[in-house]
Structure 1
Amino acid sequence: MGRKSPYPAEFRNDAVALYRAAGGKRTYAAVAADVGVTGETLRSWVRQADELAGRGTRGERAVESRDEELARLRAENNRLRKAEKGMGTRARDPAPGGPVFRCGDEGMTGRWDFISAHRADFGVKRLCRVLQVSRSGFCRHLTSAESRVARRRDEEELVGEIREIHASHQGTYGVRRVHAELRGFGHSVNRKRVERLMRINGIEGRHLRRRKRTTIPDRLAPPAPDLVQRDVTARQLNEKWCGDITYVQVGGAWLYLACVIDICSRPVLGWSMASHMRAELVIDALKMAVAARGGNVGGVIFHADRGAQYTAAVFAQVCDGFGIRRSMGRVGSSYDNALAESFWQGLKRETMHHRLFSTMRQARLEIFQWLTYYNARRRHSALNHLSPVEFEQQHLRAAKLSIAA
């Protein structure tokens, strides 16, 4: 009998679904790198799943690929609509800098360009008089034409890279993360310049509306003390964890999610998804986090709200078994667990923007895909715009160097 896998069955199944969703366009190693396992491990999980399901998975894969293709086409259509040439953002007016002199083009550059485009028809003198500018100023404008052309060419190339970054992150990145990505690629570019180009070209990140309160406290259960006191910082890994529950609508039903986050480096160590909100949901997420850290988590502070799942006796027993110290915020105060609340906002903003999941399979796959992307690639503003995995690697290297010194 083989050794029991340290990864929960839920995690293995979602990893297999993520590889299958790629439709052969991504290798085992590429998908495994996002998930955080080796390529051979993922290959064995896929092989085991195929053996259990036999040949009956082909129909399911076809349905799944249709859902993904529909989502991809909708996203592409939305991106092309925003990037339509010659049209202003939302207003459908002629774009600034186009051949038509429009409201908002009264700036000097707009006037000079208009005179250059129409001087053969009306003459420079008449156009300068109508637009109330000097001919000497227009002459200076002409002498600097080459430098402007070079700058415009550079900006067009920069806009192209911004669009690629924006598209590669599913349209979720705003100015700060796009700027950090450009700097990561070696570009020495000012953030205000990136902001201006994104605004002019209608490129923007996603924003989320305020969500409803979901915590349902158990008034009879004894609460744990607040060991965090709104201090969402930690100097070491496995010093403080936090967790929470949220939900997403799937058709006419609900899918509930629980997560466990390391406050030091901000990765999602454990998560669980189910159609219920029982204590097993948060227990499964906690067990996955413990497995991700190798099982040695004694003394870790786990902070959550006073929801019934976290005050349940069975959850307290699991924490005691691992040596985890429970911590809870006050009733009705989202600021006491602000880090987890912020994480949920990011997930919903970047996976459910103006859309609704139609099937549980689609919801699980896209949420799992975003979670792995968040850990491995998504730049985090609190981590100096590094991803959680990159930050952990730097943190561990620094710790080894300090020990060696």
Structure 2
Amino acid sequence: MPYEVQGVVSRAKGEPVSLETVVVPDPGPGEAVVNVQACGVCHTDLHYREGGINDEFPFLLGHEAAGVVEAVGEGVTDLEPGDYVILNWRAVCGTCRACKRGKPWYCFSTFNAAQPMTLADGTKLSPALGVGAFLEKTLVHSGQCTKVNREAEPAVAGLLGCGVMAGLGAAINTGAVTRGDSVAVIGCGGVGDAAIAGAKLAGATTIVAIDTDDRKLAWAKDFGATHTLNSRGLSEEQVVEAMQDATNSFGPDVVIDAVGRPETWRQAFYGRDLAGTVVLVGVPTPDMRLNDLPLIDFFSRGGSLKSSWYGDCLPSRDFPMLVDLYLQGRLPLDKFVTERIGVDGVEQAFERMHHGDVLRSVVTF
């Protein structure tokens, strides 16, 4: 029998979200209904509200979630009611060309639930990143559920579902940071600080945090930054020079751009060491362009220029490992949780996010 719960819905571009009745169907083949216990308020949710992802309104927002499986559909054999899970938005298919090449983190045919969740009048909802978790129960594909140690608090564990995983993975998976490396991270919000935490976990000895907000730079030090730079008003050349000054004049081995703007990418490109790595994890807007970058500079500097999709993570591999590291006291995931709020507080959380007052607001049920 379908469930009726209250969920956060974005009906039109730029308009405040509303709390509305959402109908969640019983799980069909390959699907699961999850009792959501906590869900982080991610910048991607705000992008949906602002029409920055697509125009398939109305959206059911929320996707950084943890909870307990309520029911599973036909054919689901690796989940059962009562399992404690983190939701993910890249349930790998196992059959596409990336999966067959042994690189499932690049899966080109990921799964979502086949059935729609709807408003009370039958209007179909577009769930954010195929999840939709600002509500007490949600319907997902079973492959979007990753079982983890239930000792991890849901408000903390759920953050691995998107932004924190993106940053950690940008450092550990995409950037392949290892012992003794030097790293710079441009942009010290939730994703950037996660990249800093990941670089520290991987053994980086020098970690340069770059931002235009002193509050964010203070947070970055809490996650492991050894050097900080407020780049407000500085030229590209000054930022590049500061990165090099912090790394014996060479430049960092890995520079992670967690902002995703042409000017920050150029800082990363020119600030890294020769044959160093640039990782783009901040998401650009479609109108952004790289202009007047000499092709000879690509050749003469060598190295790697990478984009990081969801931290190049494989949820079944990475989520349980990172939760265990958190429970061992080696990964400070709890520091990302700035506040816990009710499901009726999402619009206000967007405002605090816009002003840079929080790393993560987390809706708890």
* TM-score, normalisation: structure 2: 0.28
Q: Which has the higher contact order (CA 8 A, sep 6+)?
A: 2
- Whichever structure has more helix as a proportion of its residues is 1
- Whose radius of gyration is greater, 1 or 2? 1
* TM-score, normalisation: structure 1: 0.26
